[in-house]
């Protein structure tokens, strides 16, 4: 055994060197992608800063994009591009290197004319070459435009007419623009110029000025919440600017409704319409601005209101026939057609007074305005909890699906905790001054409209029982009770009926221990005290004027 030879061990340096090579290659494989990603993001941020500097100084409404949604050609160099910038007012599309040239070469939409030398009915076309909409047809030869794989054909940024290159040379170069299909909704640049001239001369007779556009002229103001509907509002703003005059389109997160609605005072009396793109909270914000117009004595300029639902609940929009939620299923042009065809209706609005106990009656009651409904109980508590958390982190609540999941979480929590148990022992309910004996309830809901809780027709329930007819303009409130969060869920899926308490002109909820009050668009915790809801019948202007979609009754 001792005489056997053992193999000589290899040099230890070779094994150590192999390990070092392995570590080195591992580090390179990990760090190299990180370095490339960091370098690309740095270059991208520099390009974004450069573009933002151009955007800030430009007269165009440039927006950058990483991928165009359809085959696109640069309006300057005519090359095919996948990414670049586009103007959300006139529709120009260019690559990054041609931004400055496009700024100098092409004029954007004029929101007003530089002089009043041109007549109101003599607006020339404003042609933009290339990138015409898909399935567009030439107004002369009726053949499809934009079929060639290059920058070709023209589109007018006002009337949206499209024409072939050859047809343009023949007859359309000097034709006057009639503003196309949506001329009854557009505020022409010449009108803004004429209004400014009249104001300099201290004249306000806009009726004579507007008579040249005919009685069918009902200008439309767009008030969009860019944070609503998974931030869909931002894209809608651009689409409306392309179809209308950009001066008519407002982002309410940047321009509050009370300021935006002052443009109605430059229009003929009772002619303006407003399309609110947002949820029930945004609609309530606009209606509050309308109330301020009434206080200022501007009743004759108050517009009729239509709704494009972008929020989570959208119960008011559902009631008015505009649907439970807009996700781009119909083009914006069709939305404008629906507004043109809509009928005017009235919506009851209600004063809600909250009086707190104590303070020796020295504190004035708080007053709120109710448009949709208010409730006391588990659904109000869910709405309050959701509202508090959304105020803390708004960016986390930009998705409708996520918002509904949060509501589900709080509803499940209340099923287990039952914070509103034995509500009938804590409150007194009066309808038109008469006290109502309540069963063992956990919630009371007072309705002004037909929909509640994101699309549920609460007053109707399962539809297997007879019940009084309910309307949103009859001066009556519908009062129902629920037995808990689980009962609310059953009503939502039509497995149960609510406890219908009755209809009334006035509702009073008194002797509250803690009141979780929720109206669509606003949630608050009040109490102990009393809550009184009544209709201001002495002021008919208090009610809101809405537009109801005619093809969805």
Q: Is the pLDDT of residue 332 over 50?
A: yes
The residue range of the domain holding 384 is 350-535
Question: Average pLDDT of 495-518?
Answer: 80
Q: What is the pTM of this model?
A: 0.83
The region, left, alpha or beta by phi > 0 then psi within -120 to 50, assigned to residue 490 is alpha
What pLDDT, on a 0 to 100 scale, did the predictor assign at position 431?
Answer: 94
Per-residue pLDDT band at 512 (split at 50, 70, 90): low
What pLDDT, on a 0 to 100 scale, did the predictor assign at position 1?
Answer: 46
- For residue range 283-308, list pLDDT tens digits in order: 999 999 999 999 899 989 999 999 99
CA-CA-CA-CA torsion sign (227, 232, 235, 236): negative
324 shares a domain with 443: no
Whole-angstrom distance, CA of residue 391 vs CA of residue 524: 13
What pLDDT, on a 0 to 100 scale, did the predictor assign at position 529?
Answer: 72
Q: Six-digit token pair at 508?
A: 């009073």
481 shares a domain with 378: yes
Whole-angstrom distance, CA of residue 147 vs CA of residue 136: 10
380 shares a domain with 326: no
Mean pLDDT for the chain overall: 82
Residue 33 lies in a domain: no
Whole-angstrom distance, CA of residue 237 vs CA of residue 140: 31
414 shares a domain with 296: no
Residue 336 lies in a domain: yes
203 shares a domain with 269: yes
Least confident residue range of 165-174, 226-235, 408-417, 446-455? 408-417
Residue 514 lies in a domain: yes
Residues sharing a CB contact under 8 Å with residue 122, sequence separation 6 or more, in sequence order: 176, 190
> Which of 54-68, 326-340, 522-536 has maximum average pLDDT?
326-340
- For the chain, give the percent of residues with pLDDT over 90: 35
Q: Is the pLDDT of residue 540 over 60?
A: no
Residue 240 lies in a domain: yes
What is the β-pairing status of strands 220-224 and 443-447? unpaired
393 shares a domain with 326: no
363 shares a domain with 257: no
- For the chain, give the percent of residues with pLDDT over 70: 77
**CATH number of the domain that 464 lies in?**
2.60.200.40
Residue 49 lies in a domain: no
3-state secondary structure of 273: strand
What pLDDT, on a 0 to 100 scale, did the predictor assign at position 553?
Answer: 44
- For residue range 339-388, list pLDDT tens digits in order: 999 999 999 999 988 887 665 556 778 888 889 988 887 766 666 666 66
Whole-angstrom distance, CA of residue 146 vs CA of residue 251: 32
Dmax over CA atoms of the chain, in Å, equals 124
Q: Assess contact for 356 and 529: CB atoms under 8 A.
A: yes
Higher per-residue confidence, 116 vs 397: 397
**CATH number of the domain that 299 lies in?**
3.40.50.10330
Task: Report the 10 Å Cβ neighbour count for 47.
Answer: 12
Whole-angstrom distance, CA of residue 405 vs CA of residue 454: 13
- For residue range 82-115, list pLDDT tens digits in order: 988 999 999 999 998 898 899 889 999 988 887 6
Nearest by Cα to 244 from 340, 167, 104, 121: 340
Q: Six-digit token pair at 305?
A: 């209101």
Question: Average pLDDT of 67-74?
Answer: 91
391 shares a domain with 339: no
Q: Phi first, then psi: what are they for 245, rounded to 5°? A: -80, 125
Residue 90 lies in a domain: no
Per-residue pLDDT band at 399 (split at 50, 70, 90): low
What pLDDT, on a 0 to 100 scale, did the predictor assign at position 150?
Answer: 92
331 shares a domain with 441: no
Nearest by Cα to 83 from 239, 74, 75: 74
Nearest by Cα to 539 from 257, 269, 364, 295: 295
Residue 444 lies in a domain: yes
Whole-angstrom distance, CA of residue 89 vs CA of residue 424: 57
516 shares a domain with 498: yes
Task: Report the 10 Å Cβ neighbour count for 173.
Answer: 12
Whole-angstrom distance, CA of residue 225 vs CA of residue 311: 9
238 shares a domain with 309: yes
Least confident residue range of 45-49, 122-126, 339-343, 496-500? 45-49
477 shares a domain with 376: yes
Count of domains forming the chain:
2
Residue 475 lies in a domain: yes
């Amino acid at each position: 055994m001792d005489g056997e030879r053992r193999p000589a061990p290899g040099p230890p340096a070779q094994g150590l060197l192999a390990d070092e090579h392995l570590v080195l290659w591992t580090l390179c494989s990990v760090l190299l992608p990180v370095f490339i990603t960091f370098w690309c993001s740095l270059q991208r941020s520099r390009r974004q800063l450069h573009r933002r500097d151009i955007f800030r100084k430009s007269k165009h409404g440039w927006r950058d994009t990483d991928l165009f949604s359809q085959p696109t050609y640069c309006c300057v160099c005519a090359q095919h591009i996948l990414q670049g910038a586009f103007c959300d007012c006139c529709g120009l599309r260019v690559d990054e290197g041609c931004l400055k040239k496009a700024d100098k070469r092409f004029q954007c939409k004029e929101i007003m004319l530089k002089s009043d030398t041109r007549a109101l009915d003599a607006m020339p076309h404003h042609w933009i070459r290339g990138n015409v909409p898909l399935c567009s047809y030439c107004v002369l030869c009726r053949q499809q435009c934009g079929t060639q794989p290059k920058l070709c054909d023209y589109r007018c940024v006002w009337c949206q007419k499209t024409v072939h290159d050859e047809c343009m040379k023949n007859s359309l170069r000097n034709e006057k623009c009639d503003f196309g299909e949506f001329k009854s909704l557009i505020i022409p640049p010449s009108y803004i110029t004429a209004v400014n001239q009249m104001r300099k001369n201290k004249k306000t007779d806009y009726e004579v000025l507007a008579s040249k556009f005919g009685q069918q002229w009902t200008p439309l103001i767009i008030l969009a919440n860019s944070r609503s509907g998974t931030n869909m509002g931002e894209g809608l703003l651009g689409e409306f600017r392309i179809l209308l005059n950009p001066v008519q389109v407002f982002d309410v997160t940047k321009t509050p409704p009370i300021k935006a609605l002052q443009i109605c005072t430059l229009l003929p009396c009772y002619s303006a319409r407003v399309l609110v793109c947002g949820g029930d909270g945004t609609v309530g914000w606009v209606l509050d601005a309308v109330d301020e117009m009434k206080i200022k004595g501007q009743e004759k300029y108050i517009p009729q209101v239509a709704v494009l639902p972008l929020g989570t609940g959208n119960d008011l929009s559902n009631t008015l026939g505009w649907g439970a939620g807009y996700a781009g299923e119909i083009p914006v042009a069709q939305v404008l057609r629906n507004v043109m065809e809509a009928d005017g209706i009235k919506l009851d609005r209600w004063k809600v007074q909250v009086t707190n106990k104590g303070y020796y009656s020295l504190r004035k009651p708080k007053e709120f305005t109710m448009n949709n409904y208010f409730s006391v109980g588990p659904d109000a508590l869910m709405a309050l909890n959701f509202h508090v958390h959304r105020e803390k982190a708004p960016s986390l609540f930009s998705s409708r699906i996520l918002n509904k999941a949060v509501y589900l979480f709080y509803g499940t929590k209340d099923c287990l905790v039952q914070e509103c148990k034995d509500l009938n022992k804590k409150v007194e309910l009066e309808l038109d001054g008469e006290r109502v004996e309540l069963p063992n309830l956990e919630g009371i809901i007072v309705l002004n409209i037909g929909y509640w809780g994101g699309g549920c027709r609460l007053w109707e329930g399962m539809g297997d029982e007879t019940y009084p007819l309910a309307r949103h303009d009859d001066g009556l409130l519908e009062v129902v009770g629920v037995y808990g969060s689980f009962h609310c869920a059953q009503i939502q899926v039509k497995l149960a009926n609510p406890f219908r308490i009755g209809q009334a002109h006035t509702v009073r909820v008194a002797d509250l221990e803690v009141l979780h009050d929720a109206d669509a668009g606003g949630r608050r915790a009040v109490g102990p005290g009393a809550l009184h809801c009544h209709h201001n019948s002495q002021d008919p202007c208090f009610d809101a004027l809405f537009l109801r979609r005619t093809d969805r009754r």
